[in-house]
Structure 1
Amino acid sequence: MPASTDMKAFTRIVELGSFAKAADDLNVTPSALSKLMSRLEDRLGVRLLTRTTRRLALTPEGSLYLERAYEVLDLIERTEADVASSRARPKGLLRINSSTGFSRQTLLHAVPAFLQRYPEVSIDLSLTDRLVDPVSEQADIIIRGSPSAGAEFVVHELARGRRLICAAPSYLKRYGEPRSSDDLTQHNCLALSGQVPATTWSLATEDGVVQFLPKGSFSCDNVGMLFDMAIEGHGIVRLADFVVGQAVQDGRLIEILAEVNRASSISLWVLMPRGRFLSPRVQAFLDFMADYLSPN
């Protein structure tokens, strides 16, 4: 059996944390997979995995083998992809995991345009604001507003934007428009909870830049929910233009305090599982979104 087959089997066992799950994924029996691993360890003369009743754990030799296996498998896939690139075209299923706010306000419009351009591609989109495991979620790409990730991710900056402070016309008509950070203390600010630095708003004052802690009747860790609350006129939000930009353009939200809003820049990041080559459909989507989000 080729060494690359052993490597692929080993990486799937580690990724899925189970011989049974890996066997199902590789379409072999658990006993056959267990024998394969035993033969691999016998050939190498070292133990790669230790098993307990609850989980599998890598030995130091196993960690080294995993790292090198990813490199070898990635090289094989890249080589085959390069050879076939002249005939390759975007097609097949693209699995995307994205934050709710960005998906509902930007991907809602971008995805249909992408699918129209690439009719042989289909998209399975999952929405969550937590960082997911790309292996267990089977995600090809993950879109987030933070580059924070473990070593198992490749991180790529997709676009740059800024955070806007805004409110619905109905809210401003009812309560007036704040002109300073002091004014904000008299308003209902809808806070994004649990996500630094988004939990505080950097605002310029006569005494310098201050970190304003928004306070109000509602906070949430879901950007999409905060957006909906703001649209309905329930308070003031500070969210990325990737989320609120279209609503500001069409007048559903109005940007306020632009002259005192500081440290408002934000990047949009794509996280991809390390060790996978960029398939034509993944590369096509990244290129499309970079153009779609370009200010020009």
Structure 2
Amino acid sequence: MNPSHDIAVFIRVVDLGSFAAVAKEANLSPSAVSKIVSRLEDRLGVKLLQRTTRRLVLSQEGETYSIRGREILAAIEAAEAEVTAGRGQPRGHLRINTGTAFAKHRLAPLLPEFLKKYPDMTVELSVTDRRVDVVAEQIDVAIRVGPLGDTSLVSHRLGEVRRIIAASPAYLRRHGTPKQARDLLSHNCLHLRGFSRLAGWPMYVNGERVLLPVTGSMSCDSADVLLDLAVSGIGIVRLGDFLGEAALSAKQLVPLLDTCHDDDPTPLNALMPPGRQNIPRVRAFVDFLHGKLRTANQRSLVRQV
């Protein structure tokens, strides 16, 4: 009997919600998975899972055991990784998840340097704009822009993202340059759909913060597409400054209304399942990323806190 193996199987049952899913993942039969959980329950003398015809429900004892079990497994992995890392640099496979825009414009350009620094590590980068279940999908580090909300994950503050308003030189030649916030009401403003928590663009008018109800001919759920449209001259865009950094440097976009725009600083965090923050390969990546963002040049969209 291997207690840590039994704990790991039980936790995957909790994460995936069925014996069959874990059986497929672990190349076991569903009955074998069920027996492992039953063995744990017999040893502990409590029911960890309430089995119904439709689903598995954690008992109170099961919830406590799953929390402590995760901590135990993470501690074992951290101890083993630390011992093996003593023979050299951090090693192993690192699973990272982040959104499309941050992956393309900020993270991906840094990964070659990271892998060169840590040649015994491999990286699996999952890129999606949906909110993934970090624990269930066995992610080591998730990079998130925005408020954390209620989370059991361990967070490490990397910095913050600010917004810019910008347009292409061609658009400004054709339509003029807005000089004050309310000028935006007569311009074609491109709208990022589905991500903003705001009903308008936050601006300062006569010293008062207002949500300006800008309008335009185009909305899209991809910040990257809006960036391309703004560069092509279709309208004015408001987006995270890491997205516009290269276009601003290349003079493809011109920043607008810096003095009256609320740039809405939003936290940027690394999120990790409890215990994984102590694993050397995870710690190495978070420290590397934090350092790179901290030393980014003044036009970087991420400002350190």
TM-score by length of 1: 0.89
Q: Distance in 2 between matches of 1:92 and 1:138?
A: 14
Counterparts of 1:138 and 1:227 in 2: how far apart (Å)? 32
Distance, in Å, in 1 between the alignment partners of 2:73 and 2:124 is 25
Give the CA deviation at 1:198: 5.2
Instruction: Write the letter of the residue equivalent to 2:15.
Output: E
- Map residues 279-290 of structure 1 onto 2, 5 A cutoff: 279-290=279-290
**Are 1:193 and 2:193 matched, yes or no?**
yes
Letter in 1 for 2:195: Q
Find runs of 4+ consecutive structure 1 residues off by over 6 angstroms: none
| Partner secondary structure for residue 126 of structure 1 | strand
2: distance between equivalents of 1:130 and 1:199? 21
Equivalent-residue separation in structure 1 for 2:128 and 2:94 (angstroms): 17
Q: How far apart in 1 are the matches of 2:172 and 2:68?
A: 58
Q: Which amino acid aligns with 1:267?
A: P
Aligned length: 296
What's the counterpart of residue 269 of structure 1? 269
Which residue of structure 2 aligns with residue 9 of structure 1?
A: 9
Partner of 2:302: none
**Contact residue 199 and residue 211 of structure 2 kept, 8 A:** no
For the Cα contact (< 8 Å) 2:147–2:266, is it kept in 1?
A: no
1:49 corresponds to 2:56: no
Deviations 1:87-140 (A, max 9, x none): 252334332222111222223422233233333333332322221122454432
Contact 1:88–1:280 (8 Å) recurs in 2: no
Counterparts of 1:105-254 in structure 2 under 5 Å? Answer: 105-148=105-148, 150-197=150-197, 200-206=200-206, 208-254=208-254
CA distance in 2, matches of 1:191, 1:174: 20
Partners of 2:164 and 2:263 within 8 A in 1 = no
Equivalent position of 2:300 in the other structure: none
- Asked if structure 2 preserves the Cα contact closer than 8 Å seen for 1:191 and 1:199, the reply is no
- Asked whether 1:19 is paired with 2:57, we answer no
- In structure 2, the CA distance between the partners of 1:51 and 1:284, relative to structure 1 (3 Å rule), is same
Distance in structure 2 (CA, Å) of the matches to 1:9 and 1:261: 52
**Quick one: which amino acid aligns to residue 40 of structure 2?**
L
* Of 129-138 and 54-63, the range deviating more from structure 2: 129-138
Amino acid at match of 2:265: S
- 61-70 or 270-279: which moved more? 270-279
* Matched letter for residue 215 of structure 2: K
RMSD: 2.3
Offset from partner CA, 1:154-200 (integer Å, 9 cap, x none): 22212224211111222222211111221001111112223344553
Structure 2 partner of 1:75? 75
User: How far apart are 1:14 and its partner, in Å?
Assistant: 0.5
Q: Give the TM-score taking structure 2 as reference length.
A: 0.87
1:62 paired with 2:62, answer: yes
Q: Are the counterparts in 2 of residues 129 and 222 from structure 1 also a CA contact under 8 Å?
A: no
Aligned match of 2:100: 100
Alpha-carbon spacing, 1:103–1:138, altered in 2? closer, same or farther (3 Å): same
Deviates more, 1:276-285 or 1:166-175: 276-285
- 1:216-239 deviation digits (Å, cap 9, x = unpaired): 122223222222222222221221
- Kept after mapping to 1: 8 A contact 2:97/2:125: yes
State whether residues 154 and 274 of structure 1, in contact with CA within 8 Å, keep that contact through their aligned partners in structure 2: yes
CA distance in 2, matches of 1:25, 1:72: 21
- The answer (yes or no) to whether the contact 1:51–1:57 under 8 Å persists in 2 is yes
Q: Percent identity?
A: 45
Which stretch of structure 1 is more off in the superposition, 135-144 or 185-194?
135-144
Contact kept in structure 2, 1:160 and 1:267, CA below 8 Å: yes
Check the 8 A contact 2:145/2:266 in 1, yes or no: yes
Partners of 1:21 and 1:108 in 2: CA distance = 32
What SS class does the counterpart of residue 46 from structure 2 fall into?
coil
Give the Cα–Cα distance (whole angstroms) in 2 for the partners of residues 121 and 198 of structure 1: 40
- SS of the equivalent of 1:22 reads helix
User: How far apart are residue 275 of structure 1 and its match?
Assistant: 4.2
Kindly state the Cα deviation for residue 149 of structure 1 after the two structures are TM-superposed. 5.1
Q: 1:171 to 1:92 in 2, by over 3 A?
A: farther
Q: Find the residue that maps to 1:7 and give its secondary structure.
A: helix
